Amino acid sequence: MKKRLLIIGSALAFCCVAEGSGIAELKGKLPEIFAKSAAHYKALDAAVTPLMKNAEGQTMVPQGYKRDKKMYDMRGIVWWTSGHFPGSLWYLYEATGDDFFKERATVWTENLKPISTFKGNHDIGFMMYCSF
């Protein structure tokens, strides 16, 4: 029994040490990761801002990219992931302090105000609270 506990304890200690060293390495890479993410999101914002309104005048948000059609998949604000893009901009503002992200997140978040009282489904948390 003691031998078994010793083996289990040693395995847990090894996992904790291994995990701790991985965290330190990852933390060292965070500035580079955020810099790349910031550049990607600035390019994405520039690409999808002209698509913010569809032909009918409805507000749209990016949901993804259709590689086969080489186009952005824009969805109406009632789509369940509508808060993800503005929320990502807010997270990048928090991480980088770059006012560009605050300004753009504000614009995209303001577009979600019409659904602030939406009761059509249970997805309101994803639709709103990633960005508010």
pLDDT per position as a tens digit, 68-79: 999 999 999 988
Q: Tell me how crowded residue 124 is: count the other CB atoms within 10 A of its CB.
A: 17
| pLDDT at position 10 | 53
Query: For 128, how many CA atoms within 13 A lie in the half-sphere containing its CB?
Result: 12
Q: Would you give the end-to-end CA distance of the chain in angstroms?
A: 53
Q: Is the confidence at residue 59, as pLDDT, over 80?
A: yes
pLDDT digits (tens, 9 = 90+) for 81-100: 888 999 999 999 999 999 99
- Rounded CA-CA distance 99/102 in Å is 5
pTM of the model: 0.77
Percent of the chain scoring above 70 in pLDDT: 80
State residue 83 phi and psi, 5-degree precision. Answer: -85, -10
| pLDDT at position 123 | 74
Q: Is the confidence at residue 125, as pLDDT, over 90?
A: no
Q: Which residue carries 């504000």 as its tokens? A: 106
Give the contacts of 132 (CB within 8 A, at least 6 positions apart).
83, 109, 112, 116
